[in-house]
């Protein structure tokens, strides 16, 4: 858990996020090997979809954690910049 300059904590689910990222990295390394070995394109695409799903699920965990713990704090403090930053992050994440 990391404390911000405003005193609220970040990443309550650090272990879960790291585990999800490790799985995504493993999937991505598998995709790279498959391409190097010139595996069937449909198999590569299926494996690549697992990478995308793993990253999207990681993003969901981070987003939920941020809303439940960080945004509640900054909302109570009236920190409009933090809320604006969240909105920008959501827009980029959901493209």
User: pLDDT tens-digit profile of 55-65?
Assistant: 999 998 888 88
Separation CA 95–CA 92 (nearest Å): 6
State the CB neighbour count (10 A cutoff) for residue 84: 10
Read off the pLDDT band of 7 (50, 70, 90).
very low
Sequence-separated (6 or more) residues with CB below 8 Å from residue 21? 58
All residues at 6 or more sequence positions from 87 whose CB lies less than 8 Å from its CB, including other chains? none
Q: Give the Cα separation of 74 and 62 in Å (integer).
A: 16
Contact 17, 11 (CB under 8 A): yes
Q: How confident is the model at residue 11 (pLDDT cuts 50, 70, 90)?
A: low
**pLDDT score, position 10:** 57
pLDDT at 8 over 70: no
* Whole-number pLDDT of residue 79: 80
Beta bridge partners of 3: 9
Average pLDDT estimate for 36-59: 94
């Amino acid at each position: 858990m990391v404390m911000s300059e405003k005193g609220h904590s970040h990443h309550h689910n650090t272990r879960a996020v790291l585990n999800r990222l490790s799985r995504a990295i493993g999937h991505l390394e598998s995709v790279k090997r498959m391409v190097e070995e010139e595996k069937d394109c449909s198999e590569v695409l299926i494996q690549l979809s697992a990478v995308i799903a793993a990253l999207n699920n990681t993003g969901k965990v981070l987003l939920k954690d941020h809303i439940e713990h960080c945004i509640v704090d900054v909302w109570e403090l009236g920190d409009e910049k933090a809320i604006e930053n969240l909105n920008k992050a959501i827009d980029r994440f959901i493209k």
